[in-house]
Amino acid sequence: MTEKHILQLNHVSLTYHTLRGETLALKDISFGIQPGEFISIVGPSGCGKTTILSLIAGLLNKTSGDIYLQNDPITKTNKNVGYMFQRDELFDWLTIEENILLGLTIQKKRTPENKKKAQELIVKYGLDGFQKSYPRELSGGMRQRVALIRTLATNPHLLLLDEPFSALDYQTRLNVQNSMHAIIKSEHKTAILVTHDISEAIAMSDRVLILTKRPATLKKEITISLPQNLTPFERRNHPEFQTYFLKIWEELQDEEENS
Amino acid sequence: MKKKTVKPTYSLAHKKYLTKLRNTRIGISVGRWGVLILFIGLWELCTSIGVLDAFMYSSPSRIISQLKTLFTGGTIWNHMWVTLSETLWAFAISTVLGALLALLLYILPFTRRVLEPYLVILNSLPKIALGPLIIIWMGAGTKAIITMGILICIIVTTISLLNGYLETDVSKITLLKTMGANKWQIMQKLIIPSSLPNFIAVLKINLGMSWVGVIMGEYMVSKAGIGYLINYGSQVFKIDLVMSGIVILCLLSALMYGVVVALEYYVNKKRGYHK
């Protein structure tokens, strides 16, 4: 089972230090994720969801435990991991095309072949004609799509999505969720989504991990067995959606009451 | 049939709105020139009817005839060139050194914290107080004048540029790190381009400051230059000469400012504004 996992966390803990003392942020977190799987991490705010992504991205170092990406331990940032943020973080002095090629430029992989692939992504996901535009000329939803294509352009195996929809208005959010879900599935990427939005987690993912409040431990794992061929929006209207919602809601509510 | 260019038909209210906008724009232009004409006119009037003593306060007509004499005499070109070149040197050296210093302090946070109080003290020190020392160390000449200009500019340049670098969006730095960028790439791809507007703002301030430094330097030690001319004029009580010097300075500094504004326009154009 384990060797099938693209990512594996074993008993990972993290303590961080400030002048006022040391805080145990993550405690004994273990989970694995299979290639092509889409998982979400939910939990009380400030519990350390983003911290887990930072560890996987190699931006932070764990205090104890092991993290393996494709059976290699993670020690620093890794080109096989792509990270998406709350805001699109597009560089407003670069054209859309240059923004999308940013990762390739940094990794010195601006080959004609890779540029062609990026161009294909641009066309495939509805941004053709905007290559020479600047980010300020695009809507919020389009900008977030550019950010996703920028992440995909370097061809990472694992995508880390840190609340990428939270800065969008509700209508746009639902649309972008649909298109991002479609893009990630059709590119056969593995993804971890961090969110505080229960509906979003159920609509997007195959499995939801629920964290406790700080120090965060893994409270529960819920597999979402809604039909694979539905879009996130259609999943929201599936009869079983509400059941999952209540299940996760209760788990989180439990955390709130214990505090 | 010939294709007619379709003029959009606006409602009356919109036409009124457009007219109002245009009138405001014209009004501002008229007002700007008006202030200048009124100022010159009043000055000329007051000196000609004797409310102001033209010997003490000069007058527009006297300045014009003084300028004519200066430019037909020809030595003014040398004075202008001396001051302009000193200013350009002070401006260029302080900008380059300040930018390098800011860069160094940015990448060395420990050094930055060690030097912080010194920067603050140097920034608040009136640099003119160092004048006598500069003359002793650099000699009473061009070198001292340029040094004065550099001293006045460099601390402000360093502090402003450093603050610009430090204001860089942290999540964008994280983004580049997740892509595997090294320190130099982060500098080159993010910190420098994102602080370019700030850099141009610093250039504008610096330009004004280098004029201040150079003219102060010329007051202290020079044998030529516009500052020398003004100082000389006041010593022999030729107010016309002093005023002419100030007018020439105004024009020169406006010219240099125009160059920076043009640079700003060019940079913005490259970044897709003014489409």
pLDDT band for position B84 (50/70/90)?
very high
pLDDT of A1:
43
A107 contacts chain B (CB < 8 A) = yes
Taking the CA of residue A106 as centre, how many other CA atoms within 13 Å lie in the half-sphere pointing to its CB?
Answer: 29
* pLDDT mean over B184-198: 92
**Token pair for B145:** 């004048």
CB atoms within 10 A of CB B58: 23
CA-based nearest residue in chain A for residue B270: A93
* pLDDT mean over A24-39: 92
**Cross-chain CB nearest to B172 (options A78, A89, A106):** A89
From chain A residues 11-50, the ones with a CB under 8 A of any chain B CB are none
A109 contacts chain B (CB < 8 A) = no
**Which distant-in-sequence residues (6+ apart) come within 8 Å of A42 by Cβ?**
A49, A195, A196, A198, A201, A208, A209, A210, A211, A248, A252
Q: Which long-range contacts (CB under 8 A, 24 or more apart) does A23-26 make?
A: A23/A214, A23/A215, A24/A214, A24/A215, A25/A51, A25/A214, A25/A215, A25/A216, A26/A51, A26/A52, A26/A55, A26/A62, A26/A215, A26/A216, A26/A217
B179 contacts chain A (CB < 8 A) = yes
β partners of residue A72: A69
pLDDT of B4:
55
Q: Could A106 and B190 be called an inter-chain contact, meaning their C-beta atoms sit closer than 8 Å?
A: no
| Block residue for tokens 């955390």 | A255
The answer to whether the peptide bond before residue B60 is cis (omega within 30 degrees of 0) is no
Please give the span between the terminal C-alpha atoms of chain B, in angstroms, as a whole number. Answer: 33
Question: How far are the Cα atoms of A72, A100, A107, B142, B272 from residue A116, in angstroms, in the given order?
Answer: 30, 12, 16, 58, 24
pLDDT of A3:
53
Q: Tell me: pLDDT of B274 over 80.
A: no
* pLDDT mean over B238-244: 94
Question: How far are the Cα atoms of A69, B22, B25, B34, B114 from residue B28, in angstroms, in the given order?
Answer: 65, 10, 5, 10, 50
Distance from the Cα of A23 to chain B's closest Cα (Å) equals: 23
B177 contacts chain A (CB < 8 A) = yes
CA-based nearest residue in chain A for residue B188: A106
* pLDDT mean over A10-21: 90
Give me the phi and psi of A65, to 5 degrees please.
Answer: 100, -175
Q: Per residue in B245-257, is it b (16+ CB within 10 Å) or e — as a string?
A: bbbbbeebbeebe
pLDDT band for position B120 (50/70/90)?
very high
β partners of residue A222: A208
Q: Could B174 and A83 be called an inter-chain contact, meaning their C-beta atoms sit closer than 8 Å?
A: yes
Q: What angle do CA A141, A144, A147 make, to 5 degrees?
A: 155
Domain extents for chain A?
Answer: 2-192+214-218
Q: Could A59 and B181 be called an inter-chain contact, meaning their C-beta atoms sit closer than 8 Å?
A: no
Q: Could A106 and B271 be called an inter-chain contact, meaning their C-beta atoms sit closer than 8 Å?
A: no
Give me the phi and psi of A8, to 5 degrees please.
Answer: -140, 125
pLDDT of B75:
87
pLDDT band for position B275 (50/70/90)?
low
* CATH no., domain A2-192+214-218: 3.40.50.300
**pLDDT tens, A172-223?**
889 889 988 998 898 899 999 999 899 999 999 999 999 998 888 999 999 9
**pLDDT tens, A160-172?**
999 988 888 888 8
Give the separation between CA B194 and CA A93, rounded to whole angstroms.
Answer: 8
A194 contacts chain B (CB < 8 A) = no
Q: What angle do CA B271, B274, B275 make, to 5 degrees?
A: 90
pLDDT of A166:
86
CA-based nearest residue in chain B for residue A134: B272
Distance from the Cα of A119 to chain B's closest Cα (Å) equals: 19
| Domains present along chain B, CATH in parentheses | 65-270 (1.10.3720.10)
pLDDT band for position B40 (50/70/90)?
very high
Helix ranges restricted to H, chain A: 49-57, 96-100, 102-106, 112-124, 140-153, 170-186, 198-204, 232-236, 241-258
**Which distant-in-sequence residues (6+ apart) come within 8 Å of A195 by Cβ?**
A40, A41, A42, A163, A165, A166, A201
pLDDT band for position A97 (50/70/90)?
very high
Substitution target in A77, A92, A136, A157 with the highest count of B β-carbons within 10 Å is: A77
B183 contacts chain A (CB < 8 A) = no
Give me the phi and psi of A46, to 5 degrees please.
Answer: 80, 15
Nearest residue to B160 (alpha-carbon basis) of B201, B194, B188: B201
User: Residue A29: helix, strand or coil by DSSP?
Assistant: strand
pLDDT band for position B6 (50/70/90)?
low
Q: Could B178 and A107 be called an inter-chain contact, meaning their C-beta atoms sit closer than 8 Å?
A: no
Give the separation between CA A195 and CA A184, rounded to whole angstroms.
Answer: 17
ipTM of the complex, rounded to two decimals: 0.88
Looking at every residue in chain B, the average pLDDT score rounds to 91
Tell me which amino acid residue A1 is: M
pLDDT of B76:
92
A73-77, A101-105, B239-243: which range is least confident on average?
A73-77
Instruction: Identify all chain A residues contacting B175, using CB atoms and an 8 Å cutoff.
Output: 83, 85, 89
Taking the CA of residue A179 as centre, how many other CA atoms within 13 Å lie in the half-sphere pointing to its CB?
Answer: 21
| Block residue for tokens 């054209």 | A95
* pLDDT mean over B231-235: 93
Residues in chain A: 259
From chain A residues 148-187, the ones with a CB under 8 A of any chain B CB are 154
Give the separation between CA A155 and CA A146, rounded to whole angstroms.
Answer: 15
* pLDDT mean over A239-255: 91
From chain A residues 87-106, the ones with a CB under 8 A of any chain B CB are 87, 89, 91-93, 95, 102-103, 105-106
Nearest residue to A194 (alpha-carbon basis) of A171, A216, A169: A216
Question: How far are the Cα atoms of B42, B93, B169 from residue B39, in angstroms, in the given order?
Answer: 5, 37, 47
Substitution target in B178, B196, B270 with the highest count of A β-carbons within 10 Å is: B178
| Block residue for tokens 């939990």 | A43
Taking the CA of residue A32 as centre, how many other CA atoms within 13 Å lie in the half-sphere pointing to its CB?
Answer: 13
A79 contacts chain B (CB < 8 A) = yes
Kindly give the pairing relationship between strand A190-194 and strand A38-42. parallel
pLDDT band for position A57 (50/70/90)?
very high
CA-based nearest residue in chain A for residue B197: A93
Instruction: Identify all chain A residues contacting B180, using CB atoms and an 8 Å cutoff.
Output: 77-79, 106-107
| Block residue for tokens 């991002």 | A180
pLDDT of A176:
87
Q: Tell me: pLDDT of B50 over 80.
A: yes
CB B239 within 8 A of CB B58: yes
**Cross-chain CB nearest to A59 (options B178, B189, B193):** B178
Give the separation between CA A74 and CA A65, rounded to whole angstroms.
Answer: 11
* pLDDT mean over B81-88: 95
Taking the CA of residue B177 as centre, how many other CA atoms within 13 Å lie in the half-sphere pointing to its CB?
Answer: 16
pLDDT band for position B1 (50/70/90)?
very low
